[in-house]
Amino acid sequence: MQISFEPVGILHSPYKQKFAIPRQPRLIPQARAWLALADHVNHPDTLRGIEDFSHLWLVFAFHETMEKGWSNLVRPPRLGGNAKKGVFATRATFRPNAIGMSAVELIGIKKKGNRWGLELAGIDLLDQTPILDIKPYLPYSDSIEQAAGGFADARPETEMTVEFSEQAQQFCLQQSQNYPQLMAFITQVLKQDPRPAYKKKREGEQTYGMSLYEFNIQWRVNAQHHFVEEIR
């Protein structure tokens, strides 16, 4: 059986590349995004009553990896990239059907020009992600007490610290009108330690760069400390 879907919207996210995206939703509350509705659902009636819910489920497609295929076993980053688990025991992007789901916070309905959409927070999705469906999060049903989380039972935490250079601090201040939480956002992204698992084991100083919104962030890592050198 062949099943095809037409996206109901496109997500406009601060994450312009897979690197630096948190492993799960709501780990970085400052990660704001706008979900623009597609033409065939671009009507206020499709959103009527949605503001009564604090959180939503987004069903989406892994659009950048879906052509790369899948395998029976994957190496979850949570396990250091060493142990293998069955693909259905993980939330890996390389799946038989490249579909994912995220529970995100709803900030409100927002219209830009003639386009209706939703302002969201706690996003863990790449920019331009196709959204296949939007569903309300129901606490009485979707939150299961005493549920077991397997190898990912606890919220990921690191002891990483983050420091900004004078240039980086001034840049964030200059952007405060349009991006009031930019410094806090970058800090939380780096505290998640976005480096690949194999690089976290290396000793000595390492230099990285990433894109968030339209900004390029350059930083150094030494042991458990991030130092943001420059933002352009």
Question: Tens digits of per-residue pLDDT, 81-132?
Answer: 778 999 999 988 889 999 999 999 999 999 999 999 999 999 999 999 999 9
pLDDT at 155 over 80: no
Whole-structure pTM value: 0.87
Q: Same domain, yes or no, for 116 and 219? A: no
Q: What is the mean pLDDT of residues 40-46?
A: 98
Of 7-11, 137-141, 145-149, 157-161, the poorest mean pLDDT is in 157-161
Residue 133: inside a domain: yes
Q: What is the dihedral of CA 205, 175, 36, 15, to 10 degrees?
A: 0
Q: Same domain, yes or no, for 44 and 131? A: yes
Residue 150: inside a domain: no
pLDDT at 156 over 80: no
pLDDT at 10 over 90: yes
CA-atom Rg of the chain in angstroms: 19
Residue 2: inside a domain: no
Q: Same domain, yes or no, for 116 and 217? A: no
Q: Same domain, yes or no, for 61 and 120? A: yes
Q: Same domain, yes or no, for 63 and 92? A: yes
pLDDT at 203 over 80: no
Q: Residue 201 has which token pair?
A: 């084991």
Structural domain tally of the chain? 2
Q: Same domain, yes or no, for 189 and 136? A: no
Q: Same domain, yes or no, for 131 and 28? A: yes
